[in-house]
Amino acid sequence: MDKSVPPKDRKGLRTGFTTGACAAAAAKAAARCLVKGAMLSEIETTLPNRTRVTFALARCERLENRAICSIIKDAGDDPDCTHGAELTAEVELRTEPGIEIRGGQGVATVTKTGLGLEIGGPAINPVPRRNITEMVGEELAGAPYGGAVVTISVPGGEEMAKQTTNARLGLLGGISILGTTGIVRPYSTAAFKASVMQEIDVAAAGGLRELVLTTGGKSEQYAMALYPQLPEQAFIQVGDFIGVGVKQCAKRGIVRAIIVGMMGKLSKMANGKMQTHAAGSEVDMEFLASLAAELSASDELVAAIRQANTARHVLELCREAGLVGITSLVCKRVVEHCQVHAGGTLAVETCLVDFGGSLLGRYPEVQT
């Protein structure tokens, strides 16, 4: 079987590969092309989740001391605006150590805080950066070169970005290079919605009465660490469909639903949004400002939150100002809205975790 064909996930939907995974593979291919002096048609790479995958190369060229390789992104059964994008990596070797990653044409430049990225730098997220560095480093091992300059570009990326919220977030001039595992899981399709319901049905039929609903793979991983006593079948990735998830739990006689997620998705749920897809609902800074005001935040902090860039940025502002409790208040609002949405019969607990898995807030505060 061709390893570059994305596998199906546990719901039977065809997964895809992230822009980050494609960029790292293209960079690895370009580095190998220079070190080995060979033209390539494919490259085997390691995804951030440690899976080995072989990608076909759309382009492999050598220009004196530089090489350019590219991969066409396959987004699987839930194609977004970057499906079919050409992720291109240009690598230039150098004697001094270190791998420098730059953004080229079609990759956004960061212009606002709150994204965990350097202002003025390319919108290449931390996991893809590490993956690119590791893959290029593998090719340089044992070679007479200390480091490399890697430039990632996406032809047509600026046009693709018009279908995203990048500009509002201060990511200008292109798309972001994203991905935490290397795999894209289809979250917004009707098939995924149906599979969420089916997975809850199966868990209920298996006798489970307490389920953990998460917004994605990363939050599921963190949830499993928070609730090690629960079996794997108790963890359901609901993606953006939290409303569908809690309603189905109530319908199938689940006693308690534990929701685990990060600030962005949970702040939308806290504001009553039961479908949290980025295109369908933005994080409401006015709402988060009102929560801060409820906690007796200063007028300056409330005003700063209104102007915040992301939900993560709001957390940073609250931390700097010493305001505690906003994460637990977000969790409380999530519980209230989800209990009403589910019809009042489902007990709901909510945990808010950060990007590293640390628990930042919980409601109820004490597990019952």
pLDDT tens over the chain, length 368 residues: 345 556 666 556 678 899 999 999 999 999 999 999 999 999 999 999 999 999 999 999 999 889 999 999 998 876 678 889 999 999 999 989 999 999 999 999 998 877 788 999 999 999 999 999 999 999 999 888 889 999 999 999 999 998 877 886 788 999 999 887 887 766 556 667 777 887 898 889 889 999 999 998 889 999 999 999 999 989 999 988 999 999 999 999 999 999 999 999 999 999 999 988 765 567 899 999 999 999 999 999 999 999 999 999 999 999 999 999 999 999 999 999 999 999 999 999 999 999 899 999 999 986 65
Looking at residue 1, its pLDDT comes to 34
Assess if residue 317 is contained within a domain. yes
Q: 347 and 216 in one domain?
A: yes
Q: 342 and 217 in one domain?
A: yes
Q: Could you say which of 132, 163, 184 is where a domain stops?
A: 184
SS3 325: coil
Q: 329 and 205 in one domain?
A: yes
* Pick from 281, 261, 262, 285: nearest CA to 273: 281
**Which structural domain range is residue 102 located in?**
16-184
Centroid of chain to Cα 210:
26
| Spatial separation of the C-alpha atoms in residues 28 and 67, rounded to whole Å | 11
Looking at residue 9, its pLDDT comes to 60
Instruction: At 347, list the tokens.
Output: 């007990």
Assess if residue 176 is contained within a domain. yes
Q: 175 and 33 in one domain?
A: yes
Q: 106 and 218 in one domain?
A: no
Q: 227 and 80 in one domain?
A: no
Q: Could you say which of 152, 184, 216 is where a domain stops?
A: 184
Q: 229 and 208 in one domain?
A: yes
| Spatial separation of the C-alpha atoms in residues 338 and 196, rounded to whole Å | 16
Looking at residue 146, its pLDDT comes to 85
Q: 340 and 300 in one domain?
A: yes
Q: Could you say which of 184, 213, 234 is where a domain stops?
A: 184
Looking at residue 327, its pLDDT comes to 97
Q: 230 and 162 in one domain?
A: no
Looking at residue 77, its pLDDT comes to 72
Looking at residue 179, its pLDDT comes to 82
Q: 290 and 144 in one domain?
A: no
| Spatial separation of the C-alpha atoms in residues 308 and 246, rounded to whole Å | 30
Instruction: Tell whether pTM > 0.85.
Output: no
Assess if residue 196 is contained within a domain. yes
For the chain, how many structural domains are there in total?
Answer: 2
Assess if residue 5 is contained within a domain. no
